């Protein structure tokens, strides 16, 4: 059994030889076969003494003791003749024919399964059934340091102490304290949690064990727990070191929740092993567990208590200064043009995470390469940003002149409301070229990073969203499906104003939903309230949207001349930027046209 593969092959060869021998032996035992007409002739001459019938096959014995077989197409027609001759008749039920291939396939399947099982039992086999995997080797010393991590200075400051613990733990233990066992990095996707964990290992110069939460979870109970014990065993042997568990929510979800199956649940057993191992460090074993997640709300409370994950570091999207530093880090690896102002790019990318900024710079490099440029220029970055935010241009899409005209007025309605309202975000660009699933896009960019929103800003946001539908009603006296997404977003904002932020005059400062604690924004659960309250909530939501709609209608009717001119420019150029929008809105000729159109409308109204 030292070589199971050779043993397996020898066994299969022997079985095949035995099966072939059995088939030859069965072939020699077969009776000679005669045709049916010869059998009838012998029967008529009273030469048949005994027959055995199996289905349509007849095995007969003649008066000389010779045996042979034949096949009768219809047994019922010959039975009467056999009975009249007083011949001994025996019958048997038909048996399926024995083939070499049926048992051979079965043997091959069983042999393959046995070989698979033997392979799984070998140390380091790496299969589903292998609990004692080969020793886990740490990643090679990473070259990533804190210099490669930009935009999150607060998180880096909190982790400097962790690095010092790894370099010299005696500095902290000589006073009787103990080093933190775990650091939980929590934040939205793309904010640099994994990069920060590698930077800790790079700064400390210690082994770095990296695994994902899903690596521990298998369909077979006990495998994940065994892998946890194996990981910690190897880490203790190589202390000081870092264990990094990415997406720990895959294994660290709260016990007893939906989908749990008591003590037999594999995920729960793995979590129990992880909790025990985190409590099992002895003095002198400097092993720090760094974990990352974007769902801290679903983690088990036992993981988050002091003594396990002592430090919980929030990593949020960077502000404008952080974005500029991140852009500089990535710009060092690229050939940038002299016209590129990274500070301006950072200002125009609010809400971008580190991963999104990296993607922006990479897309800009690809864009410049497609145009055979020697370096990345500012238009390449702007075009890449538009592609990321609004989707790729669908220039090949065939649009009728009427649809194009409706889209131009729709986007012009958005833009005018955004420029007229003082609390709205300014317009950055307008296009009627289809992008993604939208027929046109009006992109707004806030002047500063916003961390809280006033009631006036939210109302301005709702009015801007309703500006497109309102413009369609004023100009064409009809509605299109182009406003579907605008209406969904406007309704969601109004609902959150009433149910979550307490911005209702009727209901007052009360919240009717439990806010979502995750970074993913998966939605908030409604609290229990009466049917009368639900009716009042619906009335308030409708009131906010209806009031905003009426105000939007009044504003656009007062800017009817600007609406026509902006739509005309859009139809001609297809894409215009903020500077061109401001020129149109401040043009004296357009202002005069607007006054004439308003006067004309008043005269028509008086005549009616």
Whole-number Å distance between alpha carbons of 446 and 444: 7
- Helix 401-420 to helix 560-573 angle (10° resolution) is 130
Sole residue written with tokens 């028509």: 604
Single out the residue of 324, 298, 225 nearest to residue 266, CA to CA. 225
CB contact at 8 A, 15 and 23: no
Adjacent-strand bridge partners of 67 = 61
311-314 vs 182-186, strand pairing mode: parallel
Single out the residue of 479, 474, 368 nearest to residue 416, CA to CA. 474
The three-state secondary structure class of 52 is strand
Question: Hey, how many other C-beta atoms are within 10 angstroms of the C-beta on 400?
Answer: 8
- Candidates 247, 277, 411, 419; catalytic one: 411
Is 247 designated active site? no
Whole-number Å distance between alpha carbons of 202 and 286: 16
Whole-number Å distance between alpha carbons of 15 and 17: 5
Neighbour-count burial of 327, counting CB atoms closer than 10 A to its CB (0-12 exposed, 13-18 middle, 19+ buried): buried
Helix, strand and coil in the chain, % to nearest 5: 55, 10, 35
Whole-number Å distance between alpha carbons of 57 and 30: 13
Question: Hey, how many other C-beta atoms are within 10 angstroms of the C-beta on 520?
Answer: 11
Question: Hey, how many other C-beta atoms are within 10 angstroms of the C-beta on 374?
Answer: 8
182-186 vs 287-293, strand pairing mode: parallel
- Which ranges in 280-398 belong to alpha helices (H)? 301-304, 320-331, 342-347, 354-370, 378-390
CA triple 530-533-534, angle to 5 deg: 90
Token digits for 376? 């990345």
CB contact at 8 A, 479 and 470: no
Whole-number Å distance between alpha carbons of 597 and 589: 12
Catalytic residues: 411
């Amino acid at each position: 059994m030292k070589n199971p593969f050779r043993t397996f092959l020898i066994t299969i060869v022997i079985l095949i030889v035995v099966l072939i021998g059995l088939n030859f032996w069965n072939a020699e035992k077969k009776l000679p076969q005669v045709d049916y007409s010869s059998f009838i002739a012998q029967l008529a001459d009273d030469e048949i003494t005994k027959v055995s019938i199996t289905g349509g096959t007849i095995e007969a014995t003649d008066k000389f003791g010779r045996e042979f077989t034949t096949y009768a197409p219809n047994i019922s027609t010959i039975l009467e003749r056999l009975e009249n001759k007083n011949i001994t008749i025996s019958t048997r039920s038909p048996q399926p024919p024995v083939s070499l291939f049926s048992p051979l396939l079965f043997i091959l399947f069983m042999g393959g399964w046995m070989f698979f099982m033997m392979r799984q039992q070998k140390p380091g086999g790496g299969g589903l059934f292998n609990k004692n995997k080969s020793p886990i080797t740490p990643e090679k010393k990473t070259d990533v340091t804190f210099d490669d991590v930009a935009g999150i200075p607060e998180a880096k400051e909190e982790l400097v102490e962790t690095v010092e613990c790894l370099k010299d733990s005696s500095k902290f233990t000589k006073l009787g304290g103990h080093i933190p066992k775990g650091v939980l990095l929590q934040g939205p996707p793309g904010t640099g949690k994994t990069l920060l964990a590698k930077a800790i290992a790079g700064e400390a110069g210690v082994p770095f064990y990296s695994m994902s939460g899903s690596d521990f979870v298998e369909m077979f109970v006990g495998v994940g727990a065994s892998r946890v014990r194996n990981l910690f065993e190897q880490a203790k042997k190589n202390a000081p070191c870092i264990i990094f568990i990415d997406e720990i929510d895959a294994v660290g979800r709260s016990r007893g929740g939906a989908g749990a199956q008591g003590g037999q649940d594999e995920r729960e057993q793995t979590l129990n092993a992880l909790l025990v191992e985190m409590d099992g460090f002895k003095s002198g074993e400097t092993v720090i567990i760094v974990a990352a997640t974007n769902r801290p709300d679903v983690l088990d409370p036992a993981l988050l208590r002091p003594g396990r994950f002592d430090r919980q570091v929030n990593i949020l999207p960077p502000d404008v200064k952080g974005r500029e530093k991140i852009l500089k880090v990535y710009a060092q690896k690229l050939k940038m043009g002299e016209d590129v102002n990274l500070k301006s790019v950072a200002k125009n990318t609010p809400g971008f995470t580190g991963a999104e900024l990296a993607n922006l710079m990479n897309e800009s490099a690809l864009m410049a390469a497609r145009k055979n440029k020697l370096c990345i220029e500012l238009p390449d970055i702007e075009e890449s940003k538009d592609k990321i935010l609004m989707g790729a241009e669908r220039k090949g899409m065939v649009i009728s002149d009427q649809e194009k005209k409706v889209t131009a007025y729709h986007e012009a309605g958005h833009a005018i409301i955004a420029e007229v309202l003082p609390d709205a975000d300014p317009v950055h660009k307008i296009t009627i070229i289809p992008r993604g699933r939208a027929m046109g896009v009006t992109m707004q960019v806030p002047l500063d990073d916003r961390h809280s929103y006033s009631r006036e800003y939210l109302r301005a946001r709702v009015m801007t969203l309703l500006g497109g539908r309102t413009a369609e009603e004023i100009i064409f006296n009809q509605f299109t499906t182009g406003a579907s997404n605008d209406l969904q977003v406007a309704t969601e904002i109004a609902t959150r104003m009433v149910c979550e932020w307490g911005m209702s005059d009727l209901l007052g400062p009360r919240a009717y939903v439990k806010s979502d604690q995750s970074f993913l924004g998966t939605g908030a659960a409604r609290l229990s309230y009466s049917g009368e309250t639900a009716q009042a909530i619906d009335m308030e939501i409708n009131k906010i949207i209806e009031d905003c709609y009426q105000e939007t209608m009044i504003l656009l009717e007062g800017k009817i001349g600007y609406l026509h001119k902006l739509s005309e420019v859009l139809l001609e150029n297809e894409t215009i930027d903020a500077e061109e929008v401001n020129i149109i809105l401040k043009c004296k000729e357009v202002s005069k046209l607007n006054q004439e159109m308003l006067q004309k409308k008043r005269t028509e109204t008086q005549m009616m």
